[in-house]
Structure 1
Amino acid sequence: MQYGFTDVLQLIGALGVFLFGMKVMSDALLKLAGDKMRSILATMTSNRFLGITTGFLITSVIQSSSATTLMVVSFSNAGLLTLTEAISVIMGANIGTTITAWLITILGFKVSMSAIALPLVGFGFAFTFAKKSKTQNIGSFIIGFALIFIGLQFLKEAMPDIKNNPEILSFLSRYTDLGYLSILIFLFIGTVLTVVIQSSSATMALTLIMTAEGWIPFEMAAAMVLGENIGTTITANLAAIVANYRAKQTARAHLIFNIIGVIWMLALFYPFLRLVSWLSVQFGSNSPYLSAAAIPVAISLFHTMFNIMNTFLLVWFVKPIAKVVERVVPKRLDTTKAVDEPKFLTNNALKYPETAIATLIKESKYLFKNAVFEIVAHALNIHREDIKSDLKLKKVIKKSNILFETDIRTLYTTRIKHIYGEIIKFATKAQSTLSLTETQNNEVAEIKAANRRMVEVIKDVNELSRNIELYLNSNNPHIKKEYDKLRKKVAKVLRVIYLFRTEKDNNKYYETLKKLKDRARVNKQTDNLEINNLIRKDLITVEMASSLVNDNDNVNDMIKNLIIVAELLYGKRDTILENDTKKAPIE
């Protein structure tokens, strides 16, 4: 048999055309429907059947289980999906990927697309000149769709002609008559091919062509399909290598789910194939055991039945699978990053608008909870645990009379400044590189505003801290009392914010915050009247009064900013940002 290097190159080229067609079509569909698909995925509930439906629909629409799985991994990485939600979506994606096999079988074998594929390319190319991006994407989809079948035709022609070269059959027969060992060999071949090509659709196309041409029998083709189910999980596992533990858990869950399916299918392999053969005959096709031309339909039916049965068998074991995965990949926080390094901002998160926004919110919440909250509490000379406790604030203030050694400027430089800069940089990059909707763009703007407010809070508390240190144990009881009142005001806001962000039923705390914010707006005038009264009665010095007036204004600004940060980061309601003059960060 003459099948030289040139023929091999033609086969690789044909596969390349097919893969390129799949990519062009999938990318165009992602652009056409991606926003809606990701929006549905990002607002998933924990209902496993809804997850399966979502995964099925997304994969059916974008025609790529790998794209769906990578999206799920990215969303898990950003914390948008829980592990159980991610598993159910992947289950649905496995069913959705069977649509591709039917597309190839019906249009590639039952209907000749080669006659109209090339005109379709020209037709689709005309759409790419349109001004509207949607029309351009429709053109790209048509081109990709046509290229799939051009590549499929090239693949058929590039395959060796075994009818005139029967010696190739004698080579394959060594591996097709070994019983279960043959099944395992072709399962391995299917896995390796999918890993190498990085497309289960391309491997499926090769398998279908090999069966239609009589290269391999029905049983071996089915074994290759099982291998493809394992091989397709490698893409997600490779993507999760550089991601966090959530993404790794999702990728491992995909692998475990598919491996379990292959194991039970191997146990029922021959009876299941006889059932598929019987159903094929019932649907009007020939038996795949008797006719090579009937195998593509039978393989597509096998692929669909296996994935549907595997999903509806294991859907009842989503939680146990999740527990196994959590043991294999335990929860792990990144302790290698320095205290002034962002914990969640990664380049991978900039892949989708939803993951970018979720990551920005997580980083901002982490900064507020672990840096701003602590620094403000220490600046007030109060322990965080006292603020979080049920102890009355009057007693908290009374017991907090021993001075802390708190350098606000140093804490700002080491704990906040760099992370704040990285958050703003990340947010700006998201706005400039991603196709954000108006709502998403506003969300990013609000996150930037929340971070700017946090820096303003640190600036205000930096000035307040110096005078607290000066007057906390002053011999003048009046100035001490006034500064204790200021400390109590801020401590109350911190406590309500803590409850607002930690309690499930937080509506009453939201209402309290609104009242405190409104009160802070009017307190500047009323509090200054009290200070004037102290001056008139000569109860405090002019220097004390000057400090007190400035700090009173700072405290009210700080309260307002703290509440706005809480609303922007933790509130579920639309927040109207005030257009007041912004203060410059600490230099």
Structure 2
Amino acid sequence: MKLSALIALFADWGWRQLLLVTVMFLLFAMMLFSQDFTQVAAGVALFLFGMTLLETGFKALSGGILERILRASTARQSHSVAFGLASTALMQSSSLVSLITVSFVGAQMITLAAGIGIIIGANLGTTTGAWLMAGFGLKVDIAAYALPLLVLGVLLQLQKGQKIRGLGAILLGIAFLFLGIHYMKLGFESLQGTFDLTAYAMTGLLGVLVFTLIGMVITTIMQSSHASLLIIISALATGQVSYENALALAIGANLGSTITIVIGAMAANAWGKRLAWSHVIFNVGTALIAIVMIDGFVWLVDGLAGLLGIAADNYLLKLALFHTLFNLTGVLLLWPFVTKMADLLTTRVADKPVTREQPLYVIPAALSSGDTVRQAVTLEVGHLFDNSYGLIAQGIGLRRSVIESEESLAHAVQNTRRFMPLDLEGDYEQKVKNLHNAIVEFIGQAQQRDLPQAVIEPMYQLRRASLNAVQAVKAIKHMHKNLARYGVSEQAAVRQKYDMMRISLAKLLRALRRQMQAEKPLPSEQMDAFFSHWQQQIDETSRQLQASLDQDIRQRAMSAHIATSIMNDEVYWRSLANHLLLAMQLFNQAQNLPDKQTGSGELDAIAPTF
């Protein structure tokens, strides 16, 4: 490859790809240089792979249980914190809990304050991993337990059932975690005979800052504070790092864990970004407290270690105790201010000024669970309806404010003097079709995931509702040219026909608007009655219009040219009204479909604005 082509290739890459290639090159070079380092690196790789399998297994095995408990655990702040702590302690993955929480907050299924509670609870839950590794992982030959788990895990993975395969993934994950700990321990023990890393130990504030930065970098690269803590504990157990420097590394690992949620929030909306900011504030604040008060924490750890029966030279358990204490301190200090922080972030981290055509909810972060997929599609279809409603209102020459008021629509229509110039073709492409494309693409991505039928079925309904809204806007595109021309005609007979269609559509838009703004969808029976009533209204208006048009043609009150235009527009008008009604009916049906994941007969969602 020519040098210029190579330079062009690197220029096309983003910073993530360049960072990945750089890290891989450095790792490869160091593994060629040192067999001992290869063992440590292999241990870390096995540990990270095990965590990935654990996340996959818990997602498959839970079948929505995690999301269900999350939604039920936000009534009180204490419940949110307890959920974050318990779920992270169980799954040993704060990143999974954090990313699911980002998607739930982004879809507005839980409040920002509840999300903050879960995040700080998850931070406290990560400390359980340090206790397990320090108290058990490095003192027992856990590689002996890994092999039977590998056999059982592979056997279960070969089965067809989703939950059985999920259990197999969990067993394999635990096995690889054990193997990772084993090889990392061996690597550091071998490395001790080749290098003496303690020669680079640093004391005082400078040592705390330098090793905090090192811990942060390690966690940023591996995207796992659990893996970072394993490295720290393994290095401490083999004497490759001093106790004081290990404490600073633990602070850095905690600080570096914010990168995972920040990256996850990049694809989220403003609510997800607010939650990510709260995580950054919490971790940075906790790290600063730990750095400034590290001598006090060391003194407290020594005192509590004596009370708990931890030997004075058992630095592994003392490191785990330190990790728990400074995280607990951060939780206790932030606890009283969670609600105020949520309010402040809502004010300060504002929604970016976006054009109405951009998707607001069907974003990658919403693909994390079936609940958020269903909620995101529901809200985005509501967003598309709102755009469609605005374009149709403009197309018939009325302002949204008039339709949404109590003003007489007949009076507003009959007193129209002119139609504002519109680019309905461009607006349709940008504000409606683009959104519909995004919805269809998002549903396609969701279908590639193993989602329950309770999620798939309403998505089909919502997609059809979206398509009908698109068809309604296409109908107003065809009508608008003649509406703008004949809707203000000096010929009373001509104007009357267009006024009839405009009044009918305005009344329908007002009824649909009010229905979409209702707190809950109509029960199926009431929706059927609503649909039937408006079908009758459309049919009756059509009969009156055609009877009046026939009479005008017989009396030659208008030219044949105008009469045929009215006939064509009457077809578009009926199509528009029917597509709007069908879109509303499908949307309502999708919300009323039983949600077997949550056990609720209705989607517990914030109603989108139409």
How much does 1:201 deviate?
A: 0.8
How much does 1:556 deviate?
A: 5.3
SS in 2 for 1:332: coil
Counterpart in 2 of 1:386?
Answer: 402
Within the alignment, does 1:307 sit opposite 2:327 as a pair?
Answer: yes
Amino acid corresponding to residue 468 of structure 2 in structure 1: R
Counterpart in 2 of 1:134?
Answer: 163
Within the alignment, does 1:271 sit opposite 2:313 as a pair?
Answer: no
Counterparts of 1:368-517 in structure 2, within 5 Å, are 368-370=385-387, 372-406=388-422, 408-409=424-425, 411-431=427-447, 433-465=448-480, 468-469=483-484, 471-474=486-489, 477=492, 480-502=495-517, 516-517=530-531
Counterpart in 1 of 2:378?
Answer: 361
1:520 corresponds, among 534, 551, 559, to 534
Counterpart in 1 of 2:287?
Answer: 262
Unpaired stretches in structure 1, ≥5 consecutive residues: 577-587
After superposition, give the CA deviation of every residue in 1:11-37 in whole Å (9 maximum; x if it has no partner).
222222222222222322232226322
User: How has the CA–CA distance of structure 1 residues 17 and 496 changed in structure 2, closer, same or farther, with 3 Å as cutoff?
Assistant: same
Which piece of structure 1 moves more, 307-316 or 36-45? 36-45
Counterparts of 1:9-408 in structure 2, within 5 Å, are 9-33=38-62, 35-41=64-70, 45=74, 47-160=76-189, 168=196, 171-172=199-200, 174-175=201-202, 178-241=203-266, 243-287=268-312, 291=313, 294-323=314-343, 325=345, 329-334=349-354, 342=359, 345-370=362-387, 372-406=388-422, 408=424
Under a length normalisation based on structure 2, what TM-score does the superposition of the two structures give? 0.80
Amino acid corresponding to residue 476 of structure 2 in structure 1: V
User: How has the CA–CA distance of structure 1 residues 332 and 418 changed in structure 2, closer, same or farther, with 3 Å as cutoff?
Assistant: closer
After superposition, give the CA deviation of every residue in 1:279-316 in whole Å (9 maximum; x if it has no partner).
333333312xxx2xx22222223323332332233121
SS in 2 for 1:270: helix
Counterpart in 2 of 1:581?
Answer: none
How much does 1:81 deviate?
A: 4.7
How much does 1:45 deviate?
A: 4.3
Aligned equivalents of 2:389, 2:82: Cα separation in 1: 42
Aligned equivalents of 1:414, 1:205: Cα separation in 2: 51
The answer to whether the 8 A contact 1:52-1:88 is kept is yes
The answer to whether the 8 A contact 1:28-1:137 is kept is yes
Q: Which has the higher contact order (CA 8 A, sep 6+)?
A: 2
User: How has the CA–CA distance of structure 1 residues 57 and 446 changed in structure 2, closer, same or farther, with 3 Å as cutoff?
Assistant: farther
Amino acid corresponding to residue 171 of structure 1 in structure 2: A
Which piece of structure 1 moves more, 69-78 or 151-160? 69-78
The answer to whether the 8 A contact 2:138-2:185 is kept is no
After superposition, give the CA deviation of every residue in 1:86-116 in whole Å (9 maximum; x if it has no partner).
3222111112222222332333145442332
Counterpart in 2 of 1:562?
Answer: 580
How much does 1:447 deviate?
A: 1.6
Aligned equivalents of 2:144, 2:205: Cα separation in 1: 41
Which piece of structure 1 moves more, 524-533 or 272-281? 524-533
User: How has the CA–CA distance of structure 1 residues 154 and 406 changed in structure 2, closer, same or farther, with 3 Å as cutoff?
Assistant: closer
The answer to whether the 8 A contact 2:416-2:488 is kept is no
Amino acid corresponding to residue 327 of structure 2 in structure 1: N
Aligned equivalents of 2:477, 2:341: Cα separation in 1: 50
Aligned equivalents of 1:90, 1:394: Cα separation in 2: 54
Amino acid corresponding to residue 261 of structure 1 in structure 2: T
Aligned equivalents of 1:444, 1:508: Cα separation in 2: 18
User: How has the CA–CA distance of structure 1 residues 514 and 398 changed in structure 2, closer, same or farther, with 3 Å as cutoff?
Assistant: farther
How much does 1:233 deviate?
A: 0.8
How much does 1:274 deviate?
A: 3.1
How much does 1:441 deviate?
A: 0.6
SS in 1 for 2:406: coil
SS in 2 for 1:159: helix
Aligned equivalents of 2:582, 2:460: Cα separation in 1: 13
The answer to whether the 8 A contact 2:149-2:175 is kept is yes
Aligned equivalents of 2:167, 2:564: Cα separation in 1: 68
Under a length normalisation based on structure 1, what TM-score does the superposition of the two structures give? 0.82
Identity over aligned pairs, percent: 26
| Corresponding pairs, count | 559
Counterpart in 2 of 1:585?
Answer: none
Amino acid corresponding to residue 580 of structure 2 in structure 1: L
Amino acid corresponding to residue 332 of structure 1 in structure 2: K
After superposition, give the CA deviation of every residue in 1:133-180 in whole Å (9 maximum; x if it has no partner).
322221221122122122212222211469878x937615x51xx333
Aligned equivalents of 1:306, 1:484: Cα separation in 2: 71
Aligned equivalents of 1:93, 1:415: Cα separation in 2: 40
How much does 1:553 deviate?
A: 6.6
Unpaired stretches in structure 2, ≥5 consecutive residues: 1-31, 595-610
How much does 1:476 deviate?
A: 5.3
Aligned equivalents of 1:494, 1:43: Cα separation in 2: 36
